[in-house]
Structure 1
Amino acid sequence: MNSRERFLTALNLQQPDKVPLFDFLFSPPLFEAVLGKKVKTYEAVDAVECALRLGLDGIWIPIGGYAGYTPQAVGKNSYKDEWGTTYVQSEASWPIDAPSAYPIANREDYKNWTAPNPDDKERVQPLLDALKYNKGRLAILAGVLGPFTAATMLMGLEEMSLGFYTDPELVTDLIQEGEKFSTKAGLHLLAAGADAIIISDDLGYANSLFASPEIMREYALPPIRRMVETFRSVGAKVILHCDGNLNKILDDVARLGISGLHPIERKADMNLKQIKQKYGKLICPIGNVNSSSTLPYGTKEEIEAEVKECLADAAQDGGYIIASDHSLSQGIPVENVFHMHEAVMKYRKYPIQL
């Protein structure tokens, strides 16, 4: 099998020749070490080449950038995107900058706000560049923003949390704006040739959900389900990237119709073994190597031990893709990324022998 076939076989809950390897590549030092050059932004061709050299089996290519494009500078290290959200640039947040101000606080703001156009053909160009360069070697995973996260980018999580009680209709409207944009954008990406689509929609902290399970079931999960149904209707596989502790709604998440769940955060008490045992016939778990402690601070032996644990917990009969439990950020020493990948290569061939 080549990398693309390997990734898609596991995503289909089958056993490939080897356990696939994936990650979000969020580290300029890693790009520099692998490619031999500095990178300023997350560029599609650089991402594909870096993934190929690292031995990954799939790579994430977001729609025209992360949340949008055509930014307008508003300060030395800040800009406003097409959604009206202001971001502060820093090395620590690369390639996804941190929001600092939001365009919508009330109904009047929403009335005067204009949604971006998801049909702009330039949004698909990074994916087309990746596909042309890739030539079928890796699985190309198109990325769109989830509806709940899109709403938090418009309103801010604190204001939005109050809005569930003070103006739930406004919150619903903003979530639906994110759903409409990402659904149409996602369909364009799939039509262009993406192998699968990743919906990035964080719903929790390390210790809890952002809101009660009841609120998540009412506001956050139904639009994700509708998006998944739409993408599946055109034959697409869908991966949900959702950070945090999802244990209180994991039954609901596993039944959204998704093919894969990423990143199974170890640091958020997401138990890979239990998830595989309970939901392995529904979803392919992706991730679980600790990116907060083991990868940044662990020894080579500790990293190898955790890789072996993940493989033992989820890989034995296929339907698992190994990755960090968030991303390969610049807080992780490059040599530790290499240690992780060496361990994966050492043990990932089927039948798994640890």
Structure 2
Amino acid sequence: MTHRERVLAALNHQEVDRVPVDLGATRDSSIVKEEYLRLKEYLGINGNRPIRLLNRMMQVVEAEEEVLEYFDVDLRGVGPGPPEKGGDKELGENRYQDEWGVVRVKPPGSFYYDLVDSPLSGPLASSDIMNYGWPDPHDPGRIKGLREKVERLRGSTDYAIVLSLPSPFVHISQYIRGFEDWFIDSVANPRLLGMLCDAILDVTLAMCGDALEEVGELVDIVFCADDLGMQNGPIVSPEIYRRLFKMRHKRYLQFVHDHTSAKLAFHTCGSVWDLLDDLIEIGVEILNPIQVAAAKMDTIQLKKRYGKHLSFWGAIDTQHILPHGTKEDVEREVKRRIGHLARGGGYILSAVHNIQPDVPPSNIVTMYEWARSCSVSTKS
């Protein structure tokens, strides 16, 4: 099988010659910069090349082709670029304001940028939302070179192509409003929070429309992200999700389905078992990252209950096994998740979310080597 054939067969719930694997096809399935440099050194790959980031806040990298080929990764990612005008504004060393007006700082010794200023926190009126300085969704920088890159991947490689789109509205509304006010609003002022989410959704859908018009017919998977879970359950009750957010997610997902025949992958961290019927109903086809250490995210039960409706992407534990496990622990983890999720297709193997700086590079190598060694006959 070619890489693309393998991925598409898996996503169509067909048996494959081996489980497809991902590293870096999305901003939520990559590796943090410091860990990436350690991994390259461990592999003996030249460490002097400039590092390109997929996401500045999370400090996750666009892995180089040499690394992806080493692990025989089946997917390649693309996405909109930064705007030509109105992008990140530098506010000093390791401090910036993004195009949504959110300010972030990278503290000394930290691996990431932390949220320090939410522009619409505190007392909020509808006029504040209506008059807010929203990003220009049609800035030409967003799609500059996108079609050329996808056409090159389509024409000269056999990799499955993943288009990452802007997050729908949950993430962004939390950053703009501030987490404390956001959670209060979800109960005490849902009308105003809904208005904020709609304003954001208007912008992100316009961004999505431009990207999909450029390459929607050329990509195999479309990927979007809005975290709905935490360690022990959803971030809001299922009732609040259904009342306030579900129809807005449906609007976003239906827009994507209307503009491409690609499979639709939805990233949400945490324990989201209680929301899976809702997500399937509104158009999610692939679930990422399968945070197996979170409550109710048991891979046997996920496959049994939802395996006919969802494909699964991720599931190799980054909270315990990858950072703290032995080589044998990692091997068992890979074999276990393949055994639970890959029978009859429907599984792309990767780490749960981005690989963090506490993971020994040897465990990363073991994960991918063992994934390649697990043939169809071992999926039991």
TM-score, normalization: structure 1? Answer: 0.90
SS in 2 for 1:301: helix
Summarize the alignment of residues 140-289 of structure 1 with structure 2, pairs less than 5 Å apart. 140-143=161-164, 144-193=166-215, 194-234=219-259, 235-269=261-295, 270-289=297-316
Cα distance in 2 for residues equivalent to 1:69 and 1:340:
40
- Letter paired with 1:216: Y
> Could you tell me how far apart the structure 2 residues matched to 1:171 and 1:64 are?
28
Structure 1 residues 229 and 116: CA distance shift in structure 2, 3 A: same
Q: Which residue of 1 aligns with 2:53?
A: 42
Counterpart in the other structure of 2:26: none
Secondary structure of the structure 1 residue equivalent to 2:229 = coil
Q: Check if 1:136 corresponds to 2:153.
A: no
Q: Which amino acid aligns with 2:356?
A: S
Tell me what 2:105 maps to. Answer: 88
Counterpart of 2:88 in structure 1 is 71
C-alpha displacement of 1:181? 2.5
Please state which structure has a larger fraction of its residues in helix: 1
* Cα shift at 1:304: 0.4
Q: Is the 1:264–1:325 Cα contact (8 Å) retained in structure 2?
A: yes
Which of residues 321, 326, 329 in structure 2 aligns to 1:299? 326
User: Shift of the alpha carbon at 1:308?
Assistant: 0.5
Distance of aligned partners of 1:46 and 1:203 in 2 relative to their CA distance in 1, 3 Å threshold: closer
Which moves more between the two structures, 234-243 or 302-311?
234-243
Residue aligned with 1:83, SS: coil
* RMSD between superposed Cα atoms in Å: 2.6
Query: Does the 8 Å CA contact 1:25/1:329 hold for their aligned counterparts?
Result: no
State which of 366, 371, 375 in structure 2 corresponds to 1:339.
366
CA deviations on 1:144-193 (whole Å, 9 max, x unpaired) are 21321121121122111111234322211221233222222223323333
Letter in 2 for 1:56: V
Letter in 1 for 2:63: A
Going from structure 1 to structure 2, the CA distance change for 1:52 and 1:170 (only over 3 Å counts) comes to farther
Residue type at the aligned position of 2:18: K
Q: Percent of aligned pairs with the same residue?
A: 26
User: Structure 1 residues 87, 253: CA separation in 2 closer, same or farther (over 3 Å shift)?
Assistant: same
- 1:170 aligned partner, one-letter code: L
Question: For 1:100, which of 116, 119, 130 is the aligned residue?
Answer: 116
Query: What secondary structure does 2:212 align onto?
Result: helix
Q: Is the contact between residue 30 and residue 353 of structure 2 (CA under 8 Å) also seen in structure 1? A: no
Distance in structure 1 (CA, Å) of the matches to 2:117 and 2:21: 36
SS of residue matched to 1:141: strand
Cα distance in structure 2, aligned partners of 1:353 and 1:277: 15
**C-alpha separation between the residues in 1 aligned to 2:145 and 2:333?**
34
Report the Cα distance in structure 1 between the residues aligned to 2:352 and 2:326, rounded to whole angstroms: 17
Query: Do the aligned partners of residues 48 and 41 (structure 1) sit closer, same or farther apart at CA in structure 2, a change above 3 Å counting?
Result: closer
Task: Compute the displacement of 1:195 (Å).
Answer: 2.6
One-letter amino acid of the counterpart of residue 210, structure 2: H
Separation in 2, partners of 1:131, 1:217: 36
Q: Provide the C-alpha distance between the structure 1 equivalents of 2:252 and 2:195, rounded to a whole number of angstroms.
A: 16
Report if the CA contact (8 A) 1:26-1:328 is conserved.
Answer: yes
* Secondary structure, counterpart of 1:149 in structure 2: helix
What is the Cα deviation at residue 54 of structure 1? 2.4
How far the C-alpha of 1:19 sits from its partner, in A, is 1.0
Name the counterpart of 1:8: 8
The alpha carbon displacement at 1:100 in A equals 1.6
Instruction: Measure the CA separation in 2 of the matches of 1:145 and 1:10.
Output: 25
SS at 1:287's partner residue? strand
Seen in structure 2, the aligned counterparts of structure 1 residues 46 and 207 have a Cα distance that, compared at 3 Å, is closer
Task: Report what 2:133 is aligned to.
Answer: 114
Distance 1:227 1:291, change over 3 A: same
| Aligned match of 2:339 | 312
CA contact (8 A) 2:78 2:150 kept: no
Alpha-carbon distance, 1:277 to partner: 1.1
CA distance in 2, matches of 1:165, 1:335: 46
- Against the structure 1 CA distance between its residues 131 and 330, is the aligned structure 2 distance closer, same or farther, given a 3 Å change threshold? farther
Contact 1:124/1:189 (<8 A) preserved:
yes
Residue 112 of structure 1 deviates from its aligned partner by: 3.3
Aligned length: 350
How far 1:51 sits from its partner (Å)? 2.8
Q: What CA distance in whole angstroms lies between the structure 1 residues aligned with 2:173 and 2:54?
A: 26
TM-score (norm 2): 0.84
**Please, which runs of 5 or more residues in structure 1 have no aligned partner?**
none
* CA distance in 2 between partners of 1:4 and 1:14 (Å): 13
In 2, distance between residues paired with 1:325 and 1:4?
22
177-186 or 332-341, larger mean C-alpha shift: 177-186
With 235-244 and 322-331 compared, the bigger mean Cα shift is at 322-331
Tell me which amino acid in the other structure corresponds to 1:267.
A
CA distance in 2 between partners of 1:98 and 1:138 (Å): 34
Query: 1:290 Cα deviation (Å)?
Result: 0.5
Letter in 1 for 2:33: P
SS at match of 1:47: coil
